């Protein structure tokens, strides 16, 4: 069978890569970003977002700002969808963007941030390889008056309120409750007994691992007949997770459940289960997180029990609209600086509408970026997801003690005291009209 990445002409790929300014990415890695299975059509769509291609884009000369996305890596399905979401939102808003592959290395991401600054980038969005990097880059962004935002990973107990005004937002969904709900479905599929193994994140300094571990523990506490055999890092990607799962299955051959840190890790787990001669969804049950494409397809096929449907492209849409607004003079309420949204817990009974809109449907039409913009839609803006402002910093870092001498940020305390969090929560609730499992607003 031909390699699907060969469906796109080499010259076309090189042209798109140059326009996207995707530093350090080989041709085959780049074609993954386009979603190789959709071939040249997808290439044309993303090229148009950057001001080229058959449709004739407008963003390459945009005056509304240029965004850089510093991705953790391009190994997993999730990261690819991050870039696709940013490309789609930028196209809708007439912005241009540059994408960087961090290759899972904080030093590489620091260098890429420096490159972005020298290229006149207005705003930077990061999925950091190391939480400590978020604090460093936030400080540099404020010094250089460049808007900055981060999602999922940060230094524990460091928030936008600890930084200057140019650290616009930190984004994370309702991880603890969402992971607990997804694990609850898995444990029920196991018959509420047996041995479960876990593919973890990167350890105690990994903010995503912190909240997802807390969600796992919350669910496990309800099932006394289920025991945790062991856990190894899945590194959020398939290859490492396949090796980790194989090692754990050797140590715990009685395993009937696998909890994976995300859907990319589940991809590796399923491969290891099949290599061991067992059937995922029958002999061993698995779950994941993020609602990434392959995980959702497995739920529909019955080989994965559940995932947290937070839509990988969604934070990219949200922050692109936020950067657009900030560049156009929008003044944020301090209570809005940590953006949360409630993941849809996906299982086979409700996966189809999610599959139709977010997996088999066009990324370009998942959300309406203009409706996410507070400046373009000042009265009828719509989060298109059930969003909420985080009013409790401690819930972001469960089980992690405060640093020595830690004090809550003054702006955060003032927002709690003057009722800003309550006001924003009520306002955001009113501006959720388009249901996340309904048809696309652009369909």
pLDDT tens for each residue of 7-48: 333 333 444 444 444 433 333 333 433 443 333 333 333 333
Radius of gyration of the CA atoms of the chain, in A: 21
SS3 2: coil
CB 385 within 8 A of CB 314: yes
DSSP 129: S
d(CA 201, CA 209): 5
The 3-class SS string of 133-150 reads HHHHHHHHHHHCCCEEEE
pLDDT of residue 16: 41
CB 52 within 8 A of CB 19: yes
d(CA 434, CA 383): 8
CA distances, 139 to each of 25, 100, 148, 165, 218 (Å): 28, 20, 10, 10, 35
DSSP 85: H
CB 236 within 8 A of CB 76: yes
Structure tokens, 212? 């997802």
pLDDT of residue 65: 79
d(CA 183, CA 199): 13
CA distances, 410 to each of 51, 165, 335, 403, 420 (Å): 43, 13, 12, 17, 13
Q: Which domains are assigned to the chain?
A: 62-173+313-338+381-407 (3.40.50.2300), 175-309 (3.40.50.2300)
pLDDT tens for each residue of 324-380: 999 999 999 999 999 999 999 999 999 999 999 999 999 999 999 999 999 999 999
Q: List, in sequence order, every residue forming a beta bridge with 125; answer none if it has no partner.
A: 69, 149
pLDDT of residue 64: 52
pLDDT of residue 443: 82
CB 225 within 8 A of CB 192: yes
pLDDT tens for each residue of 56-68: 232 222 335 799 9
Query: What residues contact 38, with CB distance under 8 A and at least 6 apart?
Result: none
pLDDT of residue 342: 98
CB 311 within 8 A of CB 318: no
Which residues in the chain land under pLDDT 70?
Answer: 1-64
Give, in degrees to the nearest 5, the angle at Cα 145 between 321 and 412: 70
Mode of pairing for the β-strands spanning 344-346 and 307-309? antiparallel
Phi/psi zone of residue 126: left (φ > 0), alpha (ψ -120 to 50 degrees), beta? beta
Phi/psi zone of residue 281: left (φ > 0), alpha (ψ -120 to 50 degrees), beta? left
> DSSP strand E in 313-403: where?
338-341, 344-346, 387-389
DSSP-derived secondary structure for 246-268:
HHHHHH-TTEEEEEESSHHHHHH
Query: What residues contact 412, with CB distance under 8 A and at least 6 apart?
Result: 159, 161, 334, 393
d(CA 262, CA 242): 13
d(CA 62, CA 133): 29
């Amino acid at each position: 069978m031909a390699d699907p990445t060969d469906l796109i002409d080499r010259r076309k790929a090189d042209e798109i890569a140059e326009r996207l300014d995707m530093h350090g990415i080989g041709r085959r890695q780049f074609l993954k970003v386009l979603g190789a299975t959709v071939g040249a059509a997808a290439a044309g769509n993303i090229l148009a977002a950057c001001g080229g291609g058959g449709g004739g884009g407008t963003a390459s000369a945009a005056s509304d700002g240029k965004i850089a996305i510093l991705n953790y890596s391009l190994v997993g399905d999730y990261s690819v969808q991050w870039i696709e979401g940013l490309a789609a939102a930028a196209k809708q808003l007439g912005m241009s963007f540059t994408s960087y592959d961090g290759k899972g290395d904080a030093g590489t991401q620091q260098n890429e941030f420096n490159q972005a600054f020298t290229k006149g980038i207005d705003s930077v969005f990061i999925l950091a390889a190391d939480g400590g990097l978020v604090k460093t880059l936030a400080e540099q962004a404020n010094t250089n008056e460049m808007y900055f935002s981060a999602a999922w990973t940060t230094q524990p107990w460091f928030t936008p309120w600890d930084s200057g005004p140019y650290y616009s937002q930190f984004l994370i969904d309702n991880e603890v409750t969402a992971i607990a709900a997804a694990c609850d479905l898995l444990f029920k599929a196991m018959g509420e007994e047996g041995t479960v193994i876990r593919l973890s994140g990167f350890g105690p300094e990994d903010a995503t691992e912190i909240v997802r571990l807390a969600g796992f523990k919350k669910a496990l506490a309800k099932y006394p007949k289920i025991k945790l055999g062991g856990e190894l890092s899945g590194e959020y990607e398939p290859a490492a997770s396949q090796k980790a799962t194989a090692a754990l299955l050797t140590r715990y051959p009685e395993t009937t459940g696998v909890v994976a840190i995300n859907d990319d890790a589940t991809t590796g787990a399923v491969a290891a289960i099949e290599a061991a001669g067992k059937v995922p969804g029958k002999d061993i049950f698995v779950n994941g997180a993020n609602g990434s494409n392959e995980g959702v397809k497995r739920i529909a096929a019955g080989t994965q029990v559940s995932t947290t449907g937070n839509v990988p492209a969604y934070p990219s849409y949200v922050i692109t609209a936020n950067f657009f607004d900030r560049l156009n003079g929008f003044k944020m309420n301090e209570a809005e600086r940590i953006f949360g949204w409630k993941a849809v817990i996906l299982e086979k009974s409700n996966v189809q509408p999610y599959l139709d809109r977010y997996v088999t449907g066009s990324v370009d039409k998942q959300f309406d970026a203009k409706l996410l913009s507070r400046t373009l839609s000042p009265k009828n803006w719509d989060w298109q997801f059930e969003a909420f402002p985080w009013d409790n910093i401690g819930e972001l870092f469960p089980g992690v003690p405060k640093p020595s001498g830690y004090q809550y940020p003054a702006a955060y305390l003032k927002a709690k005291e003057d009722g800003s969090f309550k006001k924003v929560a009520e306002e955001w609730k009113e501006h959720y009209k388009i249901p996340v499992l309904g048809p696309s607003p652009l369909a």
